[in-house]
């Protein structure tokens, strides 16, 4: 369970998160939706200790993000908006192995895990490909493989579909839903598109650094979305 209590966050003088309280249960699927600049990415980065609260706490499975970044990051994977910018190595399989090398997994185990993930995502054919020669959709899958291989309990996706065409969008949304249903990974999907929240069970709506709605998706209505400045 991820528990956020009275979270405030400032970039220099600008208050970007204003008293956020939120609980994300194991194996849940939560969409965080809000207009550009509403603070979604800033909130998401608190979930795996890339940002630490100015005030308040973020607790991931009993670990305070201020105290132990290493274990928080092992539990919470993060897929960034631009797949282009999150691949470190030039060769796909090597990039997927990057996180495992960081946490000290032995070579044989790394090789096995990488192979398993490639198979799971149906991208074995990409293993030896150069990252600079593959499509945006394939880059996104490579980034996802690099996170999945760490066997995280939760994965945060920050606007994962913005650089993708419709076909790849559907593909990645399907994969995310399956990771939640089948593999019981807790999903936090950050987006500004209503079309992206199709599979989510809970929805958090953000506006100007505050949570203005947090409930089951079925309770969501147009006036709330309008209030958040989203197109309905």
Partner 1 sequence: MFKKLTFGQYTYKNSIIHKLDPRIKIITVVLLSATAFLMNSYYKFAVFSLFIFLLMILSKINFSSLLRNLRPFFFMFLFILLMYIFFSRNELDQGIRTIWKFILFIIIASILTFTTTITNMVSAIEKLLIPLKMIKINPRTIAVLIALTIRFVPSLFLYADRIRDARLARLGNLKTPKQIKLLFLPLIERVFKSASNLSDAMLSRNYTEKRTTYFNIIRLKYYDYISLSLLLMFILFILRVV
Ligand X SMILES: Nc1ncnc2c1ncn2[C@@H]1O[C@H](COP(=O)(O)OP(=O)(O)O)[C@@H](O)[C@H]1O
Interface positions with partner 1 (CB under 8 A)? 45, 48, 50, 70, 73-74, 77-78, 80-82, 84-91, 93-94, 97-107, 110-111, 114, 130-133, 146-147, 150
Burial degree of 5 (CB within 10 A; 0-12, 13-18, 19+): middle
CB of 204 to partner 1, least distance (A): 21
Min separation Cβ 12 and partner 1, Å: 16
Question: Please, is 39 exposed, middle or buried when counting C-beta atoms within 10 Å of its C-beta (0-12, 13-18, 19+)?
Answer: buried
Nearer to partner 1, 80 or 213 (CB): 80
Work out how close the CB of 35 gets to ligand X at its nearest, in angstroms, rounded to a whole number.
Answer: 7
Residues that bind ligand X in the complex, under the rule CB under 6 A:
11, 14, 16, 34, 36-42
Residue 42 site contact among partner 1, ligand X, Mg ion, none (CB < 5 to 8 Å, cut-off depends on kind): ligand X
Examine residue 161 and tell whether it contacts Mg ion (CB under 5 A). Answer: no
Q: Build a one-symbol-per-residue string for 26-45: x at contacts with Mg ion by CB under 5 A, - elsewhere.
A: ---------------x----
Minimal distance, residue 80 CB to partner 1, in Å: 6
List residues near Mg ion by CB under 5 A: 41
């Amino acid at each position: 369970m991820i528990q956020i209590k009275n979270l405030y966050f400032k970039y220099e003088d600008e208050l970007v998160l204003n008293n956020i309280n939120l609980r994300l249960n194991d194996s849940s699927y939560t969409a965080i939706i809000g207009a550009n600049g509403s603070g979604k990415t800033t909130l998401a980065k608190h979930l795996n200790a890339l940002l630490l609260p100015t005030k308040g706490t973020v607790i991931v499975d009993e670990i305070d993000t201020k105290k132990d970044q290493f274990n928080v990051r092992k539990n919470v994977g993060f897929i960034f908006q631009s797949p282009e910018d999150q691949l470190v190595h030039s060769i796909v399989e090597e990039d997927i192995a990057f996180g495992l090398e960081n946490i000290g997994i032995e070579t044989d185990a790394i090789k096995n895990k990488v192979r398993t993930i490639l198979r799971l995502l149906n991208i074995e054919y990409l293993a030896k490909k150069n990252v600079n020669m593959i499509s945006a959709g394939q880059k996104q899958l490579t980034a996802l493989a690099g996170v999945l291989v760490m066997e995280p309990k939760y994965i945060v996706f920050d606007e994962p579909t913005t650089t993708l065409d419709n076909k790849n969008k559907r593909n990645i949304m399907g994969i995310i839903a399956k990771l939640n249903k089948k593999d019981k990974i807790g999903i936090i999907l950050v987006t500004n598109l209503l079309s992206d929240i199709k599979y989510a069970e809970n929805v958090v709506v953000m506006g100007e650094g505050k949570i203005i709605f947090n409930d089951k998706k079925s309770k969501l209505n147009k006036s709330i979305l309008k209030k958040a400045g989203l197109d309905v």
